[in-house]
Amino acid sequence: MISGENILVTGGAGYIGSHLVDALVEKNRVTVLDNLSTGKISNIQHNLKRKGFHFIKGNVEDAETLRKAAMGCSIIVHEAAVVGVKHYVKDPLKVLLVNSLGMENVLEVARKTDAKVVFASTSEVYGKSETLPLRENGDRLLGSTSIDRWCYSTSKAFDEHLCFGYYKKYSLPVVILRYFNSYGPRADGSEYGGVIPIFINRVLRNKAPQVHGDGKQTRCFTYISDTVAGTMLSLEKKGAVGEIINIGTNVETPIVELAGRIIDLSGEKMKPEFITHEKFYGKSYEDIRRRVPDISKAKKLLGWEPRVDFEDGLRRTIAWYKKVIR
Ligand SMILES: NC(=O)c1ccc[n+]([C@@H]2O[C@H](COP(=O)([O-])OP(=O)(O)OC[C@H]3O[C@@H](n4cnc5c(N)ncnc54)[C@H](O)[C@@H]3O)[C@@H](O)[C@H]2O)c1
């Protein structure tokens, strides 16, 4: 495990970022830069008084703030971004600007300070590609730019290109991780969050989970400790530099089945509701039917594979939500 380093985690008060910080802070000095737009102080509260932990409230688009936060750091993990499908359709301009300007600032400061950059990219980059399983060197397939939903995918793909630009021009060490649907404690259960926390949040409040469309669309869900383990390994494995790596499970779950499992595991008795995508997201949305990663590269380069069984991960997540909701 990486130790003795000064590490900046942008977005470190968010869901994935805060869990990563918990793993890093054991043996490293960690600075978090976060504007608390979707992140929460409660996610990092337990670290605030810890020696070697430092929190800065600020924006990644602000180059001067980032410069100060990154001072003396040998590694920058860039987790800050505007995330959540509802954001993509509500304010695409914000998604595009924060995600691209933040990335450029991170790379520019890393170039000047000789820091390594690990970038939190996403399976959304593949768009609606039907060439499954999705391989890191595979083609991307996106809809029209008139559909706002694709702005996030585009912003993250642009960020990946920026990373490669800096890698090639300045030999800046960069690692690009494409996370696939991570879930676990602290994930945002509001309508801006991911499907698992949204479903759990509704079920525990005695409201039926709302399945969009026919519910046969699938996703591969990754428990947070696996997402963090993959990220931790990417910080130190030399073979990861200059590479894109999928971090996800390859177990597909249809969304309607997910709703049923969450209801059962929560000990509730109800049936999911079905609503159209349009009703939830408006017209500027298009769904992706299946998303399955090829994870052989992560196994080869990082020695990583997911360990947490889906049912076990769901149980742990539901237990956490029960504590905070009830
Ligand atoms: N959760 C997933 O399943 C998933 C999947 C693929 C990729 N990702 C990527 O992983 C990263 C972390 O996502 P998450 O799920 O933890 O979401 P999150 O919203 O919990 O975390 C993002 C963090 O960035 C912060 N932030 C947003 N804009 C900022 C800005 N302008 N300046 C500073 N901080 C800012 C937020 O306050 C938040 O703490 C993101 O880059 C996201 O794109 C997540």
Q: Which domains does the chain have, with CATH numbers?
A: 6-180+223-249+292-307 (3.40.50.720)
pLDDT of residue 191: 84
243 Cβ below 6 A of ligand 1: no
From first to last of its 326 residues, what are the pLDDT tens digits of the chain? Answer: 899 999 999 999 999 999 999 999 999 999 999 999 999 999 999 999 999 999 999 999 999 999 999 999 999 999 999 998 888 888 999 999 999 999 999 999 999 999 999 999 999 999 999 999 999 999 999 999 999 999 999 999 999 999 999 999 999 999 999 999 999 999 998 888 899 999 999 999 999 999 999 999 999 999 999 999 999 999 999 999 999 999 999 999 999 999 999 999 999 999 999 999 888 888 778 889 999 999 999 999 999 999 999 999 999 999 999 999 86
pLDDT of residue 282: 82
Alpha-carbon distances of 324 from 16, 256, 282, 321, rounded to whole Å: 18, 25, 31, 5
Residue 94 buriedness (CB in 10 A; 0-12 / 13-18 / 19+): middle
80 Cβ below 6 A of ligand 1: yes
37 Cβ below 6 A of ligand 1: yes
Q: What is the maximum alpha-carbon separation in the chain?
A: 58
What's the rounded Cα separation, in Å, for the pair 254 and 310? Answer: 13
pLDDT of residue 177: 99
**Considering the entire predicted model, what is its pTM?**
0.97
221 Cβ below 6 A of ligand 1: no
What's the rounded Cα separation, in Å, for the pair 168 and 299? Answer: 25
- Ligand 1 center from residue 13 Cα (angstroms): 9
Question: Percentages helix, strand, coil for the chain, rounded to the nearest 5?
Answer: 45, 20, 40
Q: Render 254-298 in DSSP notation, one character per residue.
A: EHHHHHHHHHHHTT-----EEE-HHHHH-SS--------B--HHH
Which residue owns the Cα nearest ligand 1 atom 41?
79
Is 13:33 a contact under the CB 8 Å cutoff? no
What's the rounded Cα separation, in Å, for the pair 228 and 224? Answer: 6
Ligand 1 site-directed mutation target among 16, 57, 59, 175, most atoms within 8 Å of CB:
16
Q: Residue 230: enclosing H or E segment and its boundaries?
A: helix 224-236
pLDDT of residue 202: 96
